[in-house]
Chain A
């Protein structure tokens, strides 16, 4: 028995005395006695259940809470982060920026890192809900490596609040096995076919920006319009389409994969994931336009584990980690250090990197579209119609 014990009782008590007298640090004590390893093992298993486990073998704390989007990370990177730092990663998945903003406005979200989209950041700054970033704690962040088009929105009034995660487009996914292999190329097709031979087979997002945006694009208006007459046209279209929809939901992969849904509003990465597994499913950008977006990592005001938040963001910005992320989720990055590590098949993929004329028709979402009460109420009327 005794030879298998990593530390003798006597030695343990000596170390405990030294720790109590303050002549050794807690880290040293935990390391020498083996309690650190034991509690790290237990912490990894239990920290999801326990509100705070007392020990963790790291200075950043035992956990970090990330609020992010569905199908947007590589679990093996998370596991690696926990292995390296001892901090357990707790993930909360959200369906829309509106929902994220609502949670932060209500207070006490408990998040350390969240993933806002470009057009929301000025609102977070205006409402005092976001922490300015201390670049010295993010050695992996190299501003010059990022395409400014997808990094600009992280800086508001010269202050850096958020660093780029991924960018992408919002188009639609179509299962061409129901069109005899024929494709579509416009939001006009998307809605007209939904009211025709795709009745009961189409899904739209359950939040306003993209669903109203697509309806605005159908009429040839701006994706971001807050013009009342244009919104009225979009509303009429959506109300007309509603009886023909399969579902109003941002979690469209299960239904597209099972074959219940044939077409859905879709983001780059989901389109890529669906296309990889089911080649008949194409990802299409409407020729009238659509959304071009960029997501960021940011730290909310009052984050409970700030050190862990910086450690996580820094870890995710490591080009090698980031490259593994891209391979897992299929969203492009704006970081040329990461791109240098990616295979050509990814860099030449038309879903990830669409043709210039399609890309140029797209618009970044505007802060006004997020906060406009008429758009919010329109979406609510559409959903409860």
Chain B
């Protein structure tokens, strides 16, 4: 067997996986997006751009997703960074493991069940009744954009904490000491040493959270009360309620295109930021 053939053979399983799991389903979705809805629901073959022309009817879903996904990612970053920093740089090894486990444990429970808990916390008998008892009346939290934001930040926080933790944990503490010895203010040290060294972790965390948030539908449905609609909810609805597979496929294609564009731009930005560094981002 030639080297060339052997190389092909080595790649074959991964290639087959990619084709069966990604290329084929996406092709089906792409083909469906040019079709039409069958009279009682489903799909009939056709070649029309009608579904794409109809996309503005889902404007709000796209808007909600494109506002709340980046906002959720950013909020998660703001909360996760100090947490990861504390864990990686300030915590002794003895406590590190325990604290890390505490970050992971919620991840072992279904997000569905944890969202039910948030329904109670944000619902009338939760925080609003506490606020009521100190004189702040009639606060509505559940089924709002705020509730959805809380839910997604809460749900995806560990995915942000870990990559940042890993990048900070690898940070050579002697660099910080050297910076201090040379007279740098702690803030200067943070901005010129720590932060640039953790860019790869931030990039990975943001990417993981953002991509997953773009497809989120469970949390908006549960904490948004069916009122804060994401593209994911529009898709569920189009396939399960309207049974309009063609239109649903067009919405899905649009979501994929938006994701590809944002993620590509984002990767360009990150690679420019970390251009002089040897540990390139994971993604």
Contact = CB atoms under 8 A, between A and B. Distances in A.
B57 interface: yes
Contacts of B96: none
B238 interface: yes
Contacts of A381: 57
Interface residues of B, number: 31
Contacts of B240: 98-99, 102-103
B32 interface: no
A249 B125 contact: no
A249 B242 contact: no
B241 A208 contact: yes
A314 interface: no
- Most interface-central of A101, A123, A206, A380 (chain B CB within 10 A): A380
B241 A376 contact: yes
Contacts of A379: 241-242
A260 B123 CA distance: 7
Contact of B40 (A123, A259, A383): A123
Interface string B225-262: 11101000110011111111000000000000000000
B40 A371 contact: yes
B225 A101 contact: no
A208 B244 CA distance: 14
Interface size class of A (residues with CB under 8 A): 35 or more
A190 interface: no
B226 A102 contact: no
Nearest to A373: B37
Interface string A96-108: 1011011101000
A370 B157 CA distance: 41
A23 interface: no
Interface string A362-377: 0000000011010011
A126 interface: yes
A245 interface: yes
A35 to B, nearest CB: 35
B40 A126 contact: yes
Contacts of B125: 258-260
Dominant SS among interface residues on chain B: loop
A258 B123 contact: yes
Given A258-B124, A380-B237, A127 B40 contact: yes
B41 A384 contact: no
Contact of B41 (A207, A371, A383): A371
A97 to B, nearest CB: 10
B69 to A, nearest CB: 16
Contacts of B119: 254
A247 interface: yes
Given A98-B243, A102-B240, A207-B241, A384 B229 contact: yes
Contacts of B140: 200
B115 interface: no
Nearest to A205: B226
Contacts of A376: 41, 241-244
A98 B241 contact: yes
A165 interface: no
Contacts of B42: 105
Interface string A166-185: 00000000000000000000
Contact of B227 (A105, A245, A260, A371): A245
A63 interface: no
Contacts of B120: 258
A126 B120 CA distance: 44
A380 B234 contact: yes
Contact of A248 (B37, B57, B226, B244): B226
A287 interface: no
Contacts of B57: 377, 380-381, 384
Contacts of A258: 120, 123-125
A73 interface: no
Nearest to A255: B123
B29 to A, nearest CB: 14
Interface of A: 96, 98-99, 101-103, 105, 123, 126-127, 200, 203, 206-208, 242, 245-249, 254-255, 258-260, 370-371, 373, 376-377, 379-381, 383-385
22 contacts: A98-B242, A98-B243, A99-B240, A101-B243, A102-B241, A102-B243, A123-B40, A200-B140, A246-B225, A248-B226, A249-B225, A258-B124, A373-B244, A376-B241, A380-B57, A383-B237, A384-B61, A384-B229, A384-B233, A384-B234, A384-B237, A385-B60
Interface of B: 37, 39-42, 57-58, 60-61, 119-120, 123-125, 140, 142-143, 225-227, 229, 233-234, 237-244
